[in-house]
């Protein structure tokens, strides 16, 4: 055996046995970044939303220049806080525009991640007609196509699956898109982030993922702050799923301090994500309406957490390590 053969065989053995450190990637609109290198990350924000509804949404309701003029200063401000990665949670049929995201990423220097999947919350107003008629397998095929071939005839790929459901119990369509998400995950390794109306919805979503062979750590419970019973955070996170508190603003810092303190007390910080759900150039409003900055976390929350005894390591876990692990693309099967 020559040296090159030896290196190849050692590599294959290592891959097969999982020895050593395996590098996983996060998929951004400008290509892949090693999960360990995505740095400080906001896991749930939006550049643009168009709430007109799946029946009426169409291109040309805004100009890219007008959105860039509005949003770019906020991304540059974010970059000045040493935030390197921005997860854009606007799904298809609510204004997902991957060319816009790519341009903003290039001009700001912030990594941006986009998504595939459908949003079944808000009374299913944002589900396209075919979501009512097609099977879970057919819907998954559409999302897998985006992963394999790119979105909207670009080479830009989704970095996660974004789904949505109202407060439980889930409707038939909402259950179907969860199953489609599970099928897509098992084919692509994309993490499934689900807008969830309450803890009952999150519990039911996790059950569907498990029944379809997906491990809990492939699931992010989006908008966990909607649930007022903190024990549900414990129930979901202790199974390995991600609990995301993502409506932070300057006025609710103490609620976030309380929820994060609960997670720390129960040794669940390593399953916790935090973000603002901010931004939002509102298509249809004059000059995009009010745009909320992405910086409360840095200016308000982190100083308060430090006062409450959170260490630098805890903060790094929340906004550095956890997002990298949560969004690292890899298939997670239920064992």
Binding site for Zn ion (CB under 5 A): 89, 277
Q: What is the CA radius of gyration of the chain?
A: 20
In the DSSP assignment, the letter for residue 269 is G
Looking at beta carbons only, is 204 or 277 nearer to Zn ion?
Answer: 277
Q: Are strands 111-113 and 192-196 parallel, antiparallel or unpaired?
A: unpaired
Beta strand segments in the chain, E: 25-28, 31-34, 41-49, 85-88, 111-113, 115-116, 160-165, 192-196, 219-222, 242-245, 272-274, 279-282
Chain residue whose CB lies nearest Zn ion: 277
Q: Least distance in Å: CB of 281 to Zn ion?
A: 13
- For residue 210, the tally of other CB atoms under 10 A from its CB is 16
3-state secondary structure at position 194: strand
Looking at beta carbons only, is 89 or 319 nearer to Zn ion?
Answer: 89
Q: Least distance in Å: CB of 44 to Zn ion?
A: 6
Looking at beta carbons only, is 89 or 329 nearer to Zn ion?
Answer: 89
Looking at beta carbons only, is 62 or 126 nearer to Zn ion?
Answer: 126
Looking at beta carbons only, is 50 or 277 nearer to Zn ion?
Answer: 277
Looking at beta carbons only, is 122 or 268 nearer to Zn ion?
Answer: 122
3-state secondary structure at position 292: strand
Q: Least distance in Å: CB of 76 to Zn ion?
A: 22
Q: Least distance in Å: CB of 74 to Zn ion?
A: 15
Q: Least distance in Å: CB of 7 to Zn ion?
A: 46
In Å, what is the CA distance from 285 to each residue of 51, 61, 75, 280, 282?
Answer: 11, 11, 21, 11, 6
Q: Is the dihedral of CA 159, 164, 167, 168 positive or negative?
A: negative
Q: Least distance in Å: CB of 272 to Zn ion?
A: 17
Q: Least distance in Å: CB of 101 to Zn ion?
A: 15
Cis status, amide bond into 169, omega within 30 of 0: yes
Residue 183 in contact with residue 212, Cβ under 8 Å? yes
220: which strand partners? 193, 242
Q: Least distance in Å: CB of 34 to Zn ion?
A: 26
Looking at beta carbons only, is 46 or 157 nearer to Zn ion?
Answer: 46
Burial 300-311 (b: 16+ CB within 10 A, else e): bbbeebeeeebe
Looking at beta carbons only, is 256 or 310 nearer to Zn ion?
Answer: 256
In the DSSP assignment, the letter for residue 29 is T
């Amino acid at each position: 055996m020559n040296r090159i053969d030896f290196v190849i065989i050692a590599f294959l053995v290592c891959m097969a046995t999982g020895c050593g450190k395996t590098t996983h990637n996060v998929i951004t609109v400008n290509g892949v970044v090693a999960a360990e290198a995505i740095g400080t990350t906001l896991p749930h924000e939006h550049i643009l939303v168009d709430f007109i509804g799946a029946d009426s949404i169409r291109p040309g309701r805004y100009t890219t220049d007008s959105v860039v003029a509005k949003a770019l200063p906020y991304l540059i401000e974010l970059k000045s806080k040493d935030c390197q990665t921005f997860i854009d949670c606007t799904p298809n049929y609510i204004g997902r525009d991957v060319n816009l995201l790519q341009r903003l990423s290039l001009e700001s220097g912030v990594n941006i991640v986009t998504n595939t999947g459908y949003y079944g919350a808000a009374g299913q107003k944002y589900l396209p007609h075919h979501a009512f008629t097609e099977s879970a397998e057919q819907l998954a095929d559409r999302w897998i196509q985006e992963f394999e071939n790119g979105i909207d005839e670009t080479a830009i790929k989704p970095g996660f699956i974004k789904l949505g459901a109202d407060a439980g119990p889930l409707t038939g369509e909402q259950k179907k898109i969860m199953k489609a998400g599970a099928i897509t995950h098992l084919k692509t390794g994309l993490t499934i982030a689900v807008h969830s109306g309450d803890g009952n919805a999150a519990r039911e979503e996790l059950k569907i993922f498990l029944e379809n062979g997906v491990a809990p750590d492939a699931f992010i419970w989006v908008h966990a702050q909607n649930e007022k019973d903190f024990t549900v955070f414990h129930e979901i996170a202790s199974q390995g799923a991600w609990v995301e508190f993502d409506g932070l603003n300057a006025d609710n810092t103490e609620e976030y301090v309380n929820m994060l303190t609960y997670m720390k007390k129960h040794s669940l910080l390593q399953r916790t994500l935090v973000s603002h759900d901010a931004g939002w150039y509102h298509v249809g409003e004059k000059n995009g309406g009010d745009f909320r900055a992405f910086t409360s976390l840095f200016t308000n929350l982190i100083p308060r957490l430090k006062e409450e005894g959170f260490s630098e390591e805890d903060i790094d876990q929340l906004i550095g390590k956890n997002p990298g692990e949560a969004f690292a693309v890899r298939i997670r099967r239920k064992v």
